[in-house]
Amino acid sequence: MKRTATRLADGRELIYYDAHDDAVRDAFDRRPLPPATSVSEVRHNPLLDEHVGYAAHRQARTYHPPADQCPLCPSREGRPSEIPAPSYEVAVFENRFPSFGGGTGRCEVVCFTSDHDASFADLTEERAALVLHAWTDRTADLADHPGVRQVYCFENRGAEIGVTLGHPHGQIYGYPYITPFTERALRAVAAHKARTGANLYDELLAAERADGRRVVLATDHWTAFVPHAARWPYEVHLYPNRRVPDLRALDDAERAGFPAVYLELLRRFDRIFGEDAPPTPYISGWHQAPFGIDDRADFALHLELFTIRRSPGKLKFLAGSESGMGAFVSDVLPEAAADRLREVATDK
């Protein structure tokens, strides 16, 4: 695999990832862009002990452009984009409208393919492996970035989720703080260890594998299951069978086994509501251990994949209980969700 780093016209970093070492990436961004600037702020809420980011400049970000003006497609004559090359495999660049920036973290865009009409589920295993390589490489770089405490590689798919660019892409957030979900998980893991001497992640994974009712896909190196207390109508957690803190710690066998498992999960998600249903909107993201904490080895890398669609034509809205109190009520039992995700397996 080959990594080629360059700069866009306004100074932002752009990195091409190619499957083969002989790839040549020599196109330059010739747009007349002013130097990149972002004004973001992070405030702390002492009552909830959580941080909130403010990025007013994002109000001006590109919003649902027509396909022939997509900023994530390759550049062509008379239509330059964020990717100067006439084609690419995987590309990562600093977000032009970041939620965090400068000394308060970093935000990047990950383009999975130059094909505007594709989705992650359409990728080959080789391309999915290249995306995993890019996620891992960016995690390694951001671990040394000043001000970054935690890295989250994620994809929002579908207008229902709030996606404003239709091109298949994801994002990488280098948070300047430890996120609330991770803080809560770390507290639970530490309390369980103090009480029992065991690792909570290990016990949860072992219990799901032993029970089996909610396991939707299992291999020698990966296990995907619907959690016993899933929040979302269809929610899958994907764990390596060996506990590791982040993407950098995966071994060669785990990396090799990931593409087939993940692509199968995404393809099943698109079949949950029937072959003729529109693509399933989803959020997919890697939970990785924060940097600079003493109990980092106790954290378990895992991917969470979920959809807000609860049935054909119906969405799960976060209304009064969920948004106002953080108390989730789901419409689909986890066991029923797991049954459905097994029913729509590719080899059925």
Q: Which residues of 189-217 are buried (b: 16+ CB within 10 A; e: fewer)?
A: beebeeeeeebbbeebbeebeeeeebbbb
Give the torsion sign (CA, 188, 155, 150, 301): positive
Question: Has 169 been annotated as catalytic?
Answer: yes
Q: 44, 51, 169, 221: which one is catalytic?
A: 169
- The tokens for 325 are 């109190």
Q: Are strands 50-54 and 41-45 parallel, antiparallel or unpaired?
A: antiparallel
HSE toward the beta carbon, residue 12, CA cutoff 13 A: 25
Give the CA diameter of the chain: 64
* Of 126, 145, 147, the residue nearest 137 (C-alpha): 145
CA distance 195 to 203: 14
Is residue 89 within a helix (H) or strand (E), and if so which, with residue range?
none
Neighbouring C-beta atoms of residue 333, cutoff 10 Å: 13
How does DSSP classify residue 220?
A: S
Please say whether the beta carbons of 338 and 236 come within 8 A.
Answer: no
Give the Å distances, CA to CA, from 72 to 8, 81, 182, 251. Answer: 13, 6, 31, 31
| Beta bridge pairs of residue 111 | 91, 169
* Of 219, 216, 256, 263, the residue nearest 241 (C-alpha): 219
**Residues annotated as catalytic (active site), given as ranges:** 169
